[in-house]
Amino acid sequence: MRYLPKSDAERKEMLATLGMDSIERLYAHLPKEVLLDRPLSIAPGKSEYEIIDWFRARGDENAVGYACFLGAGAYYHYRPVMCDVVVSRGEFLTSYTPYQAEMAQGTLTTIFEFQTMICQLTGMDVANASMYDGSSAIPEAAMMAMRITGRHKVLVARTVHPEYRAVLATYAKYQGVPVAEIAYDPETGKLDLDDLAAKLDAQTAAVIIQSPNFFGCLEDTAKIAALAHSKGALLVFSFAEAVSLGLLEPPHEADIVVGEMQSFAHPPSYGGPYAGIVATKEKYMRQLPGRLAGETKDSAGNRAFCLTLSTREQHIRREKATSNICTNQALIALMATVFMSVYGKQGLRELAVQNLSKAHYLAGGLPLRFSGPFFNEFAVSTNGKSPEAVNEALLSQKIVGGLPLGKYYPELSGCLLLCATEMSRREQMDKVKGAIL
């Protein structure tokens, strides 16, 4: 087999040093009752060519050659060629978590750069090396807020991604953490400040919002922060569309920022792998979950990097750790780092402006459901037609339309969530408009 670099003669030679005449002897000490007495029922090994062919056939059963106006936590953005070039280097692709700093300075340096750029984008002081994704970063932030405040209740805006809220609910349910949802203003599509004020109390550890929110609208972060802080709660700010950070004012007022980096170089890939982040103020640094790279010196006095503050982590603190996270999403974070380097300060802004412009072109003339300012996504009323019927009509034009919102918000069953990015073309957007109007 091509992945096993030994000849039978070498196997025999190695077995001989062990005093064994057959390779089966290696597990002869296992209890007989546990041994599998038949071959695994999996087809025999296939060639590279057959494997590529099989997956290509599966890909062709999916939506190939369609324009797509879905966002909702997974965004279509152009991926600079450089991103795959860098992550395809075996020294990055096939390396391990950089515990041995002397032979992992490459990974450690890029993590340090990633952490720095996340801080610059979010306005926070420290950021970790990555979390699994945007959704699982939310409960991690909630638990962090509970540790910091010593409180045990969590408020989450209904405008946070429904699947992110579902993940929070799973984590919270089994820890006995009460989670209440904050309503949105049916006019603006933004969090309802009065509902927040009514639900905040002295046991609220965190208020969790997303901006741009699930409807694409910008939340009033400063006002929400002021309300939360007035009751001693922390503000957890999350984002699902990282490109928005190129243009939007960073959430300085937040205490913890979590988010999803998929937009920076990873294709939607049917939901993963993506990369989450957690960033915070310096004073909460020691409550961060996950890995952190820090700057130090080597014994020759040169700048060097290593993983640090590991006394927060599971391999040292075991059941008292800040999180159980171990493996994270390093290579996806590296892709994002390359993406951020390629675009740079000007490019991220220009990219964000293109997204904003395309989305506003698409929205032009359509019956918008909400009045709040939006970035590259928005909810639209489908003009008396069912959202599903609009999508069906678009499919015949090789266009995947928007996300019908009724599944997650029954009161919005007549609405579609549409997203446009720099990859959306004007003529396709015109077709989408045509199907709705």
Partner 1 sequence: MPGKTRNHISQNEALLFEMSSPGKKGYQLPDLDVPVVDAAAVLGTENTREEITDFPEVSEVEVIRHFTRLSTWNYGIDLGLFPLGSCTMKYNPRVNETVARTEGLAWAHPYQPESLSQGALKIAVELEQALAEITGMDAVTLQPAAGAHGELTGVLLIRALLESRGNPRKKIIIPDSAHGTNPATAALAGYGVANLKSNDKGLVDVEALAKLVDEDTAALMVTNPNTIGVFEEDIVKVTSLMHSKGALVYMDGANMNALVGITRPGDFGIDVMHLNLHKTFSTPHGGGGPGAGAVAVKAHLEPFLPIPRVVRIGEMLRLDENRPQSIGRVRAFLGNYGVLIRALAYIMAHGGPGLRNATLDALLNANYIRKALEPYFDLPYTNPSMHECVFSDDRQAAKGVKTMDIAKRLIDYGFHPYTVAFPLIVHGALMIEPTETESKAELDAFIEAMIAIAKEVESDASFVLKAPYHTRTPRVDETTAARKPVLRWKPQPAVNKAAD
Chain positions 218 to 237 lying near partner 1, rule: CB under 8 A, are 218, 222
Stretch of 149-157, 179-187, 224-232, 308-316 lying at the interface with partner 1 (CB under 8 A): 308-316
d(CA 140, CA 158): 18
Q: Cα dihedral angle (44, 47, 51, 54), rounded to 10 degrees?
A: -80
Residues contacting residue 264 through CB under 8 Å, at least 6 positions apart: 77, 242, 243, 335, 336, 339, 340
Residue closer to partner 1 (CB basis): 202 or 327: 327
From 178, 197, 317, 383, residue interacting with partner 1 (rule: CB under 8 A): 317
Q: Binders of partner 1 among 36-95, rule CB under 8 A?
A: 36, 39-46, 48, 50-52, 54-64, 66, 68, 70, 72-74, 76, 80, 82, 84-95
From 207, 209, 325, 432, residue interacting with partner 1 (rule: CB under 8 A): 325
Instruction: Name the DSSP letter for residue 217.
Output: B
For the record, the structure tokens of 228 come out as 């939360």
d(CA 192, CA 178): 20
**Among 292, 261, 286, 289, which Cα is nearest to 274's?**
261
183 binds partner 1 (CB under 8 A): no
Shortest distance in whole angstroms from residue 55 CB to partner 1: 4
Phi-psi region of 123 (alpha: psi -120 to 50; beta: other; left: phi over 0): left
Contact 376, 361 (CB under 8 A): no
Cα four-point dihedral sign 305, 307, 310, 315: negative
Q: Binders of partner 1 among 231-270, rule CB under 8 A?
A: 245-250, 267-270
Binding mask 380-419 for partner 1 (x = CB under 8 A): -----------x---x----x--x----------------
425 binds partner 1 (CB under 8 A): yes
356 binds partner 1 (CB under 8 A): yes
Q: Alpha carbon of 217 to those of 74, 186, 187, 387: distances in Å? A: 16, 12, 12, 20
316 binds partner 1 (CB under 8 A): yes
Residue closer to partner 1 (CB basis): 23 or 198: 23
Residue closer to partner 1 (CB basis): 231 or 287: 287
Shortest distance in whole angstroms from residue 203 CB to partner 1: 18
Max CA pair span of the chain: 81
Centroid of chain to Cα 375: 18
Residues contacting residue 375 through CB under 8 Å, at least 6 positions apart: 212, 216, 218, 241, 244, 247, 248, 352, 355, 356, 359
Shortest distance in whole angstroms from residue 9 CB to partner 1: 10
Quickly list DSSP for 365-393. TS-BS--S-BSSEEEEE-TTS-HHHHHHH
Shortest distance in whole angstroms from residue 189 CB to partner 1: 14
Binding mask 92-131 for partner 1 (x = CB under 8 A): xxxxxxxxxxxxxxxx-xx-xx-xxx-xxx---xxx-xx-
For the record, the structure tokens of 9 come out as 């003669």
375 binds partner 1 (CB under 8 A): yes
306 binds partner 1 (CB under 8 A): yes
Contact 340, 115 (CB under 8 A): no
159 binds partner 1 (CB under 8 A): no
Residue closer to partner 1 (CB basis): 44 or 150: 44
d(CA 6, CA 239): 49
For the record, the structure tokens of 162 come out as 């429904």
From 159, 210, 263, 329, residue interacting with partner 1 (rule: CB under 8 A): 329
239, containing H or E segment: strand 234-239
From 144, 200, 418, 429, residue interacting with partner 1 (rule: CB under 8 A): 429
Residue closer to partner 1 (CB basis): 189 or 200: 189
Shortest distance in whole angstroms from residue 379 CB to partner 1: 15
6 binds partner 1 (CB under 8 A): yes
From 158, 236, 241, 340, residue interacting with partner 1 (rule: CB under 8 A): 340
- Half-sphere exposure of residue 337, counting CA atoms within 13 Å on the CB side? 25
Contact 325, 289 (CB under 8 A): yes
Stretch of 29-37, 151-159, 192-200, 201-209 lying at the interface with partner 1 (CB under 8 A): 29-37
367 binds partner 1 (CB under 8 A): no
Residue closer to partner 1 (CB basis): 200 or 380: 380
Centroid of chain to Cα 70: 16
Shortest distance in whole angstroms from residue 198 CB to partner 1: 25
From 11, 283, 383, 434, residue interacting with partner 1 (rule: CB under 8 A): 11
